[in-house]
Structure 1
Amino acid sequence: MGKTLRHQVVALWLDVAATKPPGLPPQVRTGAARRRAECMLDSAERGTARLLVGTEAEHLRAVCFLVPNTSPVMAHWCMLTAVMVHPSCQRRGLGRRLVSHALEWAQEMGYEAVYLIARADRWLEAFYASCGFREVGRSPGAIREHDHRIHDLVHLWCGLGIAQPTHDSGQ
Protein backbone atom coordinates (compact mmCIF):
# COMPACT_ATOMS: atom_id res chain seq x y z
CA MET A 1 0.00 0.00 0.00
CA GLY A 2 1.42 3.35 -0.97
CA LYS A 3 1.83 6.36 1.28
CA THR A 4 -0.74 8.31 -0.73
CA LEU A 5 -3.49 5.74 -0.21
CA ARG A 6 -2.59 5.42 3.46
CA HIS A 7 -2.76 9.21 3.88
CA GLN A 8 -6.13 9.35 2.06
CA VAL A 9 -7.63 6.63 4.26
CA VAL A 10 -6.49 8.35 7.46
CA ALA A 11 -7.83 11.71 6.19
CA LEU A 12 -11.20 10.12 5.36
CA TRP A 13 -11.32 8.47 8.78
CA LEU A 14 -10.64 11.82 10.48
CA ASP A 15 -13.29 13.60 8.38
CA VAL A 16 -15.88 10.99 9.29
CA ALA A 17 -14.89 11.06 12.98
CA ALA A 18 -15.18 14.86 13.02
CA THR A 19 -18.74 14.86 11.71
CA LYS A 20 -20.09 11.61 13.11
CA PRO A 21 -18.77 11.67 16.67
CA PRO A 22 -18.53 8.25 18.26
CA GLY A 23 -19.23 9.72 21.69
CA LEU A 24 -15.81 11.07 22.52
CA PRO A 25 -14.64 14.65 23.09
CA PRO A 26 -13.15 16.14 19.88
CA GLN A 27 -9.49 16.01 20.97
CA VAL A 28 -9.82 12.37 22.03
CA ARG A 29 -11.90 11.53 18.96
CA THR A 30 -9.21 12.74 16.55
CA GLY A 31 -6.41 10.83 18.27
CA ALA A 32 -8.48 7.68 18.61
CA ALA A 33 -9.58 7.86 14.97
CA ARG A 34 -6.00 8.24 13.75
CA ARG A 35 -4.79 5.32 15.89
CA ARG A 36 -7.66 3.07 14.74
CA ALA A 37 -7.07 3.97 11.09
CA GLU A 38 -3.34 3.27 11.37
CA CYS A 39 -4.03 -0.05 13.12
CA MET A 40 -6.46 -1.20 10.41
CA LEU A 41 -4.10 -0.09 7.65
CA ASP A 42 -1.25 -2.00 9.32
CA SER A 43 -3.51 -5.08 9.35
CA ALA A 44 -4.22 -4.63 5.65
CA GLU A 45 -0.51 -4.33 4.89
CA ARG A 46 0.19 -7.53 6.88
CA GLY A 47 -2.59 -9.31 5.01
CA THR A 48 -4.74 -9.85 8.11
CA ALA A 49 -7.47 -7.54 6.77
CA ARG A 50 -8.66 -6.61 3.30
CA LEU A 51 -9.08 -2.91 2.52
CA LEU A 52 -11.82 -2.01 0.04
CA VAL A 53 -12.20 1.53 -1.20
CA GLY A 54 -14.91 3.51 -2.94
CA THR A 55 -14.05 6.41 -5.20
CA GLU A 56 -15.98 9.23 -6.72
CA ALA A 57 -14.47 11.48 -9.38
CA GLU A 58 -11.18 9.64 -8.79
CA HIS A 59 -11.07 10.67 -5.11
CA LEU A 60 -11.17 8.26 -2.17
CA ARG A 61 -14.62 8.70 -0.62
CA ALA A 62 -15.37 5.44 1.19
CA VAL A 63 -13.58 2.55 2.86
CA CYS A 64 -14.28 -0.67 4.68
CA PHE A 65 -12.27 -3.63 5.84
CA LEU A 66 -12.97 -7.36 5.75
CA VAL A 67 -11.24 -9.29 8.50
CA PRO A 68 -11.00 -13.09 8.33
CA ASN A 69 -11.30 -15.23 11.42
CA THR A 70 -8.14 -16.91 12.64
CA SER A 71 -10.03 -19.66 14.47
CA PRO A 72 -10.42 -22.79 12.35
CA VAL A 73 -13.95 -23.33 13.66
CA MET A 74 -15.02 -19.85 12.51
CA ALA A 75 -12.98 -19.59 9.31
CA HIS A 76 -16.15 -19.87 7.19
CA TRP A 77 -17.16 -16.26 7.94
CA CYS A 78 -15.41 -12.91 8.07
CA MET A 79 -16.12 -9.58 9.71
CA LEU A 80 -16.96 -6.34 7.94
CA THR A 81 -15.67 -3.37 9.91
CA ALA A 82 -14.92 0.34 9.66
CA VAL A 83 -17.49 0.99 6.94
CA MET A 84 -17.40 4.71 6.30
CA VAL A 85 -18.33 7.19 3.61
CA HIS A 86 -17.12 10.78 3.51
CA PRO A 87 -19.85 13.06 4.91
CA SER A 88 -20.08 15.03 1.65
CA CYS A 89 -20.83 11.82 -0.27
CA GLN A 90 -23.37 10.14 1.99
CA ARG A 91 -26.84 9.14 0.81
CA ARG A 92 -25.74 8.83 -2.82
CA GLY A 93 -25.31 5.05 -3.03
CA LEU A 94 -21.56 4.88 -2.52
CA GLY A 95 -21.85 3.04 0.81
CA ARG A 96 -24.31 0.54 -0.65
CA ARG A 97 -21.98 -0.13 -3.60
CA LEU A 98 -19.02 -0.55 -1.23
CA VAL A 99 -20.87 -3.01 1.01
CA SER A 100 -22.14 -4.89 -2.04
CA HIS A 101 -18.59 -5.15 -3.36
CA ALA A 102 -17.37 -6.35 0.05
CA LEU A 103 -20.03 -9.07 0.12
CA GLU A 104 -19.16 -10.14 -3.44
CA TRP A 105 -15.47 -10.32 -2.57
CA ALA A 106 -16.20 -12.34 0.58
CA GLN A 107 -18.29 -14.79 -1.43
CA GLU A 108 -15.58 -15.10 -4.11
CA MET A 109 -13.10 -15.91 -1.34
CA GLY A 110 -15.37 -18.75 -0.18
CA TYR A 111 -16.84 -17.20 2.94
CA GLU A 112 -20.34 -18.36 3.84
CA ALA A 113 -21.30 -15.26 5.78
CA VAL A 114 -20.23 -11.78 6.84
CA TYR A 115 -20.72 -10.45 10.36
CA LEU A 116 -20.63 -6.87 11.57
CA ILE A 117 -21.46 -4.87 14.65
CA ALA A 118 -22.86 -1.36 14.53
CA ARG A 119 -24.10 1.21 16.97
CA ALA A 120 -27.87 0.93 17.36
CA ASP A 121 -29.31 3.54 15.04
CA ARG A 122 -32.50 3.23 12.99
CA TRP A 123 -30.84 4.58 9.84
CA LEU A 124 -27.82 2.26 10.09
CA GLU A 125 -29.97 -0.75 10.90
CA ALA A 126 -32.24 -0.05 7.92
CA PHE A 127 -29.24 0.52 5.66
CA TYR A 128 -27.59 -2.78 6.58
CA ALA A 129 -30.93 -4.64 6.35
CA SER A 130 -31.31 -3.30 2.80
CA CYS A 131 -27.83 -4.69 2.05
CA GLY A 132 -28.90 -8.19 3.14
CA PHE A 133 -27.89 -8.21 6.81
CA ARG A 134 -30.21 -9.34 9.58
CA GLU A 135 -29.98 -8.64 13.26
CA VAL A 136 -28.80 -11.63 15.26
CA GLY A 137 -28.37 -9.98 18.65
CA ARG A 138 -27.69 -6.89 20.71
CA SER A 139 -25.30 -5.89 23.42
CA PRO A 140 -27.40 -3.57 25.60
CA GLY A 141 -25.63 -0.46 26.81
CA ALA A 142 -22.33 -1.46 25.22
CA ILE A 143 -21.48 2.13 24.21
CA ARG A 144 -21.25 4.82 26.85
CA GLU A 145 -20.48 8.30 25.53
CA HIS A 146 -18.63 11.01 27.42
CA ASP A 147 -21.93 12.82 28.04
CA HIS A 148 -23.30 9.59 29.58
CA ARG A 149 -25.62 8.70 26.70
CA ILE A 150 -25.83 4.95 26.35
CA HIS A 151 -26.36 2.97 23.15
CA ASP A 152 -26.69 -0.68 22.23
CA LEU A 153 -24.46 -2.48 19.78
CA VAL A 154 -26.35 -4.39 17.09
CA HIS A 155 -24.91 -7.67 15.81
CA LEU A 156 -25.67 -8.24 12.12
CA TRP A 157 -25.18 -11.28 9.89
CA CYS A 158 -25.38 -11.72 6.14
CA GLY A 159 -25.46 -15.23 4.70
CA LEU A 160 -23.86 -15.32 1.27
CA GLY A 161 -25.99 -17.98 -0.39
CA ILE A 162 -23.33 -20.67 -0.18
CA ALA A 163 -24.70 -24.03 0.96
CA GLN A 164 -25.04 -23.73 4.72
CA PRO A 165 -24.34 -26.72 6.95
CA THR A 166 -27.22 -27.90 9.12
CA HIS A 167 -27.30 -26.15 12.46
CA ASP A 168 -26.47 -28.23 15.50
CA SER A 169 -27.95 -26.55 18.55
CA GLY A 170 -25.99 -28.88 20.82
CA GLN A 171 -29.07 -30.71 22.06
Structure 2
Amino acid sequence: MALTFTLDPPVDRELRDGILALWADVTNAGGAVGFVAPVTPEEIRPQLVNHLVDMAKGRTRLLVGRDEEGAVAATAFLTYNPKRIMAHWIWLYTVMVHPRHQGKGYGRDLMAAAADVARELEGVEAIRLTCRGGIGVDNFYAACGYKEVGRVPGAIRVAPGDDRDDIIMLLPL
Protein backbone atom coordinates (compact mmCIF):
# COMPACT_ATOMS: atom_id res chain seq x y z
CA MET A 1 0.00 0.00 0.00
CA ALA A 2 1.29 3.49 -0.83
CA LEU A 3 1.99 6.26 1.63
CA THR A 4 -0.45 9.16 1.93
CA PHE A 5 1.37 12.48 1.65
CA THR A 6 0.29 15.74 3.27
CA LEU A 7 1.92 19.13 2.83
CA ASP A 8 2.03 21.39 5.89
CA PRO A 9 -0.11 19.27 8.22
CA PRO A 10 -1.09 20.86 11.53
CA VAL A 11 1.73 20.26 13.98
CA ASP A 12 0.39 18.66 17.13
CA ARG A 13 1.94 16.40 19.75
CA GLU A 14 1.22 13.24 17.74
CA LEU A 15 2.95 14.59 14.63
CA ARG A 16 5.88 16.01 16.58
CA ASP A 17 6.42 12.75 18.46
CA GLY A 18 5.99 10.77 15.24
CA ILE A 19 8.69 12.80 13.50
CA LEU A 20 11.03 12.46 16.49
CA ALA A 21 10.52 8.69 16.61
CA LEU A 22 11.02 8.40 12.84
CA TRP A 23 14.20 10.49 12.98
CA ALA A 24 15.64 8.40 15.82
CA ASP A 25 14.69 5.11 14.16
CA VAL A 26 16.21 6.18 10.82
CA THR A 27 19.42 7.37 12.48
CA ASN A 28 19.75 4.26 14.65
CA ALA A 29 19.29 2.08 11.55
CA GLY A 30 22.29 3.82 9.93
CA GLY A 31 20.50 6.64 8.13
CA ALA A 32 22.43 9.83 7.43
CA VAL A 33 20.04 12.52 8.66
CA GLY A 34 22.25 14.80 10.74
CA PHE A 35 23.04 12.52 13.67
CA VAL A 36 25.17 9.46 14.39
CA ALA A 37 23.74 6.42 16.16
CA PRO A 38 22.91 5.83 18.87
CA VAL A 39 20.54 8.75 19.34
CA THR A 40 17.31 9.36 21.25
CA PRO A 41 14.31 11.47 20.29
CA GLU A 42 15.24 13.92 23.06
CA GLU A 43 18.66 14.49 21.48
CA ILE A 44 16.97 15.21 18.14
CA ARG A 45 14.28 17.50 19.57
CA PRO A 46 16.31 20.78 19.30
CA GLN A 47 16.90 20.21 15.58
CA LEU A 48 13.20 19.50 15.01
CA VAL A 49 12.33 22.66 16.92
CA ASN A 50 14.57 24.61 14.51
CA HIS A 51 12.59 23.16 11.58
CA LEU A 52 9.28 23.99 13.29
CA VAL A 53 10.38 27.59 13.95
CA ASP A 54 11.30 27.96 10.28
CA MET A 55 7.87 26.57 9.38
CA ALA A 56 6.17 29.11 11.64
CA LYS A 57 8.15 31.88 9.94
CA GLY A 58 7.10 30.64 6.49
CA ARG A 59 10.64 29.64 5.49
CA THR A 60 10.08 25.87 5.47
CA ARG A 61 7.34 23.50 4.31
CA LEU A 62 6.83 20.02 5.74
CA LEU A 63 5.88 17.02 3.63
CA VAL A 64 4.73 14.03 5.69
CA GLY A 65 4.01 10.53 4.45
CA ARG A 66 1.77 8.32 6.58
CA ASP A 67 1.47 4.57 6.26
CA GLU A 68 -1.74 2.53 6.14
CA GLU A 69 -1.94 2.68 9.95
CA GLY A 70 -1.67 6.47 9.94
CA ALA A 71 1.82 6.49 11.47
CA VAL A 72 4.43 9.00 10.35
CA ALA A 73 6.50 6.93 7.93
CA ALA A 74 8.34 9.55 5.85
CA THR A 75 9.26 13.22 5.90
CA ALA A 76 11.02 15.90 3.91
CA PHE A 77 11.43 19.57 4.73
CA LEU A 78 11.46 22.00 1.78
CA THR A 79 13.21 25.24 2.71
CA TYR A 80 13.21 28.44 0.74
CA ASN A 81 16.59 29.95 0.05
CA PRO A 82 17.03 33.08 2.22
CA LYS A 83 19.18 34.79 -0.42
CA ARG A 84 17.07 36.67 -2.95
CA ILE A 85 19.54 36.00 -5.74
CA MET A 86 19.11 32.28 -5.12
CA ALA A 87 15.36 32.22 -4.59
CA HIS A 88 14.88 30.18 -7.78
CA TRP A 89 15.87 26.98 -5.97
CA ILE A 90 14.95 25.41 -2.63
CA TRP A 91 16.69 23.11 -0.17
CA LEU A 92 15.43 19.63 0.65
CA TYR A 93 16.32 18.55 4.21
CA THR A 94 15.75 15.62 6.53
CA VAL A 95 14.54 13.20 3.89
CA MET A 96 13.50 10.05 5.76
CA VAL A 97 11.58 6.82 5.26
CA HIS A 98 11.11 4.54 8.25
CA PRO A 99 13.39 1.47 8.09
CA ARG A 100 10.41 -0.91 8.23
CA HIS A 101 9.17 0.62 4.96
CA GLN A 102 12.44 0.74 3.07
CA GLY A 103 12.60 -1.36 -0.06
CA LYS A 104 8.94 -0.70 -0.91
CA GLY A 105 9.53 2.24 -3.25
CA TYR A 106 8.42 4.78 -0.64
CA GLY A 107 11.68 6.71 -0.92
CA ARG A 108 11.06 7.30 -4.61
CA ASP A 109 7.45 8.21 -3.83
CA LEU A 110 8.65 10.76 -1.26
CA MET A 111 11.15 12.28 -3.68
CA ALA A 112 8.49 12.49 -6.42
CA ALA A 113 6.02 14.12 -4.00
CA ALA A 114 8.68 16.66 -2.93
CA ALA A 115 9.40 17.49 -6.58
CA ASP A 116 5.66 17.89 -7.24
CA VAL A 117 5.39 20.31 -4.30
CA ALA A 118 8.42 22.28 -5.50
CA ARG A 119 6.99 22.59 -9.02
CA GLU A 120 3.94 24.31 -7.53
CA LEU A 121 6.01 26.91 -5.67
CA GLU A 122 6.20 30.19 -7.49
CA GLY A 123 9.57 30.86 -9.07
CA VAL A 124 11.21 27.61 -7.96
CA GLU A 125 13.23 25.99 -10.73
CA ALA A 126 15.31 23.41 -8.86
CA ILE A 127 15.78 21.46 -5.64
CA ARG A 128 19.16 21.24 -3.95
CA LEU A 129 20.17 18.78 -1.26
CA THR A 130 23.29 17.49 0.38
CA CYS A 131 24.01 13.95 1.43
CA ARG A 132 26.70 12.02 3.26
CA GLY A 133 29.16 10.13 1.10
CA GLY A 134 30.23 6.58 1.73
CA ILE A 135 26.81 5.01 2.21
CA GLY A 136 25.44 5.02 -1.35
CA VAL A 137 22.54 7.39 -0.78
CA ASP A 138 23.89 9.57 -3.59
CA ASN A 139 23.11 6.69 -5.96
CA PHE A 140 19.50 6.72 -4.73
CA TYR A 141 19.18 10.46 -5.36
CA ALA A 142 20.78 10.05 -8.81
CA ALA A 143 18.16 7.39 -9.61
CA CYS A 144 15.53 10.01 -8.67
CA GLY A 145 16.95 12.42 -11.25
CA TYR A 146 19.37 14.44 -9.10
CA LYS A 147 22.82 15.26 -10.44
CA GLU A 148 25.94 15.64 -8.35
CA VAL A 149 27.09 19.25 -8.71
CA GLY A 150 29.71 19.43 -5.98
CA ARG A 151 31.57 17.55 -3.29
CA VAL A 152 33.46 18.67 -0.21
CA PRO A 153 35.87 15.89 0.75
CA GLY A 154 35.89 14.93 4.42
CA ALA A 155 33.41 17.62 5.46
CA ILE A 156 31.34 15.29 7.66
CA ARG A 157 33.02 13.75 10.70
CA VAL A 158 31.02 10.69 11.68
CA ALA A 159 33.62 9.57 14.24
CA PRO A 160 37.31 10.24 14.90
CA GLY A 161 39.15 9.05 11.82
CA ASP A 162 35.89 8.55 9.86
CA ASP A 163 35.32 11.59 7.67
CA ARG A 164 32.82 11.49 4.80
CA ASP A 165 32.27 13.68 1.77
CA ASP A 166 29.44 16.18 1.73
CA ILE A 167 27.83 15.64 -1.67
CA ILE A 168 25.78 18.45 -3.22
CA MET A 169 23.02 17.35 -5.60
CA LEU A 170 20.56 19.27 -7.75
CA LEU A 171 17.27 18.42 -9.45
CA PRO A 172 16.23 20.90 -12.15
CA LEU A 173 12.41 21.02 -12.26
Distance 2:113 2:146 in 1: 14
Instruction: Work out whether residues 13 and 37 of structure 1, in 8 Å CA contact, stay in contact via their aligned partners in 2.
Output: no
Q: List, as ranges, runs of 4+ consecutive aligned residues in structure 1 with deviation greater than 6 Å.
A: none
What is the number of equivalent residue pairs in this alignment?
A: 158
Higher helix share: 1
Q: Deviations over 1:118-144 (max 9, x none)?
A: 001353111101111000010100011
Q: Per the alignment, in what secondary structure is the counterpart of residue 113 of structure 2?
A: helix
Deviation (angstroms), 1:21? 6.0
Task: Give me the identity figure in percent.
Answer: 37
1:33 maps to 2:38: no
- What's the RMSD between the two structures over aligned residues? 1.8
Q: Equivalent residue for 2:111?
A: 99
Runs of 5+ consecutive residues of structure 2 not aligned to the other structure: 1-10
Distance 1:146 1:21 in 2: 15
Runs of 5+ consecutive residues of structure 1 not aligned to the other structure: 161-171
1:55 equivalent among 46, 66, 69? 66
Distance 1:93 1:112 in 2: 25
Q: Per the alignment, in what secondary structure is the counterpart of residue 145 of structure 1?
A: strand
Deviation (angstroms), 1:9? 0.9
**Which protein has the larger Cα radius of gyration, Structure 1 or Structure 2?**
1
Change beyond 3 A, Cα 1:80–1:73: same
Instruction: Work out whether residues 139 and 152 of structure 1, in 8 Å CA contact, stay in contact via their aligned partners in 2.
Output: yes
One-letter identity of the residue aligned with 2:61: R
Deviation (angstroms), 1:42? 2.7
Instruction: Work out whether residues 115 and 127 of structure 2, in 8 Å CA contact, stay in contact via their aligned partners in 1.
Output: yes
Q: Per the alignment, in what secondary structure is the counterpart of residue 136 of structure 2?
A: helix
Per the normalisation by structure 1, the TM-score is 0.84
Q: Equivalent residue for 1:115?
A: 128
